[in-house]
Chains A and B, each alone.
Chain A
Amino acid sequence: MTWPAILGLAAAAYGCKLAGLVFGDRLRGIGVVERVLVQLPVAVLAAVVVVLTVSNERSIAIDARAAGVVAGAVAAWQRVPFVGVVVVAAATTAVMRAV
């Protein structure tokens, strides 16, 4: 990877982040937009969770990783605190990989 490529990617990545913040400021106070903006990141992060849990390149893999996430999700549903959820998920996956 060359320096121009790294700096170009950095500029593009930062541009996305900053453009979002600037654009978001312009949208404040518009009723229907406000409502979408409250729910959008929840939905996007839910999609990120799915991708991080089951995607393996361009296929779907249900494996030790998915089992760990499900265990963590159950813990979260039972109102286990954040740190506990993370530990339950990682431990479940690690143990399943070890055996």
Chain B
Amino acid sequence: MIPDAESAAPSDSPPPRSGWRSDKVVRDGAVLGVAVGLFGAAFGVLAVDAGLSVAQTSAMSLLVFTGASQITAVSVLATGGTMLAALGGAFLLAMRNGVYGVSLARRLQVRGLRRLLSAQLVIDESTAMAIAQSDDRIARRAFWATGISIFVAWNVGTLLGAVTGDAIGDPERFGLDAAFPAGFVALLMPQLRDRATRTIGFVAVAIALVAIPFVPAGLPVLLAAVAAGLAARSVPSRSIRDGAS
């Protein structure tokens, strides 16, 4: 069994280790990509069933590229909802990517064309993979590797699903709907060992749980983000003392 580098390597680990660690982030990104590809196929089937053409379905995955928003939009339309409800719901879900972007900027350090390209890849998976790395260089590699792997897989999956109708079947049959949250837990775990971060995480989780029954999809996460932001300002943390010393 390969030891987990997060616990084994200090943040100022020497360069030889980081190459080894880089291979690991590329591999983990590819694993997520495979799962995302199957959901892409499911989205393709769903979108064509909801009345979109194959071209429209693929355009959505290429240009919108944020899975939860896309699935919500076509689901609302498929169940007879209005266009405004479909787009509003999708937008609420897309807004969290903006929160990720604010936080990722300091680690990615991208400018110009690279910033325009990297923006399209700012999603749950690439963010989770990047923030799980203690070294900024590896975080950048994790972001790009995961973002590109998922972009390719999501779009290939979408096209296959849209063209074939139902070639792969329901990804939930394989338990893949549990794979994503569990994968995120694995990526967050090292940081949840820090008490201040854990406290703020609990605040976010509690707000999201309470909000789910009462507000539209997307808002629980945004409310949790606001609460966590306020909590992070007031909870004393180790990093603030490190910063002051």
Q: Which residues of A does B touch, CB under 8 Å? A: 1-3, 5-10, 12-14, 16-25, 27-28, 31-32, 34-55, 57-60, 64-69, 71-73, 75-77, 79-83, 85-86, 88-95, 97
Of chain A, the residue at the smallest CB distance from B178 is A68
Pair count A-B, CB < 8 A: 326
Q: Is the interface of A mostly helix, strand, loop or mixed?
A: helix
CB of B204 within 8 A of CB of A21, answer no
Residue B9 is within 8 A (CB to CB) of chain A in the complex: no
Enumerate chain B interface residues (CB-CB to A < 8 A): 1-2, 4, 7, 27-28, 31-32, 35, 47, 50-52, 56, 59-60, 63-66, 69, 73-74, 77, 83, 86-87, 90-91, 94-106, 108, 110, 115-116, 118-120, 122, 124, 127-128, 131, 172-189, 191-192, 196-197, 200-201, 203-205, 207-209, 212-214, 216-217, 220-221, 224-225, 228-229, 231-233, 237, 239-240, 243
Q: How far is the CA of A1 from the CA of B107 in the complex (A)?
A: 37
CB <8 Å contact, B63 and A76: no
Known: A69-B185, A76-B189. A43 touches B232 (CB 8 A): yes
**Which chain A positions have C-beta within 8 A of B91?**
9, 12-13
The answer to whether B64 and A36 touch across the interface, beta carbons within 8 angstroms, is no
Q: Which residue of B lies closest to A23 (CB)?
A: B102
A-B contact pairs, 14 of them (CB 8 A): A12-B87, A17-B100, A23-B98, A40-B228, A43-B197, A49-B188, A51-B212, A53-B181, A58-B214, A59-B213, A82-B187, A86-B32, A89-B179, A94-B173
